Amino acid sequence: MTADERENGGELRGRVALVTGAGTGPGRRFATVLARAGAAVVLGARRLDLLRQVESEIRAFGGAAMAVALDLCDPASIVTAVEAAERRFGTVDILVNNAATSEKAWAVDVPLAVIDRVIDTNFRGPFLLCTEVARRLMARKMPGRIVNISSVGICMYLPSPPLALYSATKAAVKRMTETLAIEWAPHHINVNAILPGLFRSEQADAHIAAVGEERIRNALRRKRFGEPAFLDSTLLYLVSPASHAVTGASIIVDDGQANR
Is 166 designated active site? yes
d(CA 221, CA 113): 37
Evaluated on CA atoms 188, 10, 68, 104, the torsion sign reads: positive
Q: For residue 169, which of 249, 100, 71, 251 has the smallest C-alpha distance?
A: 100
Q: Which of 156, 117, 149 is nearest to 231 (CA)?
A: 149
Q: Which of 89, 166, 199, 225 is catalytic?
A: 166
**Cβ-Cβ contacts under 8 Å for 85 (sequence gap 6 or more):** 16, 18, 42, 66, 68, 92
Of 239, 226, 236, 234, which is closest to residue 250 (Cα–Cα)?
Answer: 234
Active site residues: 166
